[in-house]
A = this chain, B = another copy of it.
């Protein structure tokens, strides 16, 4: 059976959520372990994850390679793959790319909304593309097998990263802007460049990225996936739910403002609605993944296509992406 993979979550992790992952049949999740944290703070987050792995070894384990997807199925657990939504974890030190990859980091965004040392975020007015260090870090990420994720980056920076990277990149959590014109959703130009270069788009269920926000129906969401698949091909699409289960609103404040401002930035929210927005009722948490699969079938996808969208396409991407550039690609047994 094809693994079910969610290519982005940032939950308030607990045994309850890990049990819901099992209930929802989620075999692997790319989890955000750090936003604005520096290297040492990121390592503290890894230490906290190590304690979760030790305490809940019957439910989860750390994933490092695509082969861990088989291990997840064979042992009835969820493989947790680490990612960062901002490059602050590598500070100004390119050597930390390899160090964090060794510690299991498998995705890193070049920016989180703002200008970083590497590229421009989607909330800046001016997007100057990849910086000098950005080009060096993209090459180093390519070398070691750390996936470039441009979910929160500006248009030009994203196109630059796709062009400069020698390996396919990912936009782990976003939707087409043509469907819902949020600043975080992606243009046709970006989606075309992404998918034509072998990259992957993970569809987001974060309400600010949905037409109708939390009121978006399952059918509307899955019909959007169907139209996206018609345009770009089904094989470069997956799920990246952006699920922030059980998080208090203080966390979305940290995501948005980190330490870069003394004032309040509401990001995709507003002064009237500063917190996490309410989720669609058909996707309240990890136990609801089977609903998406049902919705995709109802929107006309075959069983095979549905399996590809629910995880199979990410399996292929994980296989191609997590090892050193010069290593031969490994086949994952289904």
Contact = CB atoms under 8 A, between A and B. Distances in A.
Contacts of A99: 43, 46-47, 50, 103
B44 A95 contact: yes
A contact face: mostly helix, strand, loop, or mixed? helix
Given A39-B40, A40-B39, A40-B40, A47 B95 contact: yes
A84 to B, nearest CB: 16
B103 A50 contact: no
Nearest to A93: B47
Contacts of A96: 43, 47
A98 interface: yes
A40 B44 CA distance: 12
A55 interface: no
B47 A98 contact: yes
Interface in A83-133: 93, 95-96, 98-99, 102-104
Interface string A163-175: 0000000000000
Contacts of A103: 99, 102-103
A95 B43 CA distance: 9
Given A99-B103, A103-B99, A103-B103, A39 B47 contact: no
Interface in A13-52: 39-40, 43-44, 46-48, 50-51
Interface of A: 39-40, 43-44, 46-48, 50-51, 93, 95-96, 98-99, 102-104
Given A47-B98, A51-B95, A102-B103, 8 more contacts: A40-B40, A43-B96, A44-B95, A47-B99, A50-B95, A50-B98, A99-B103, A103-B103
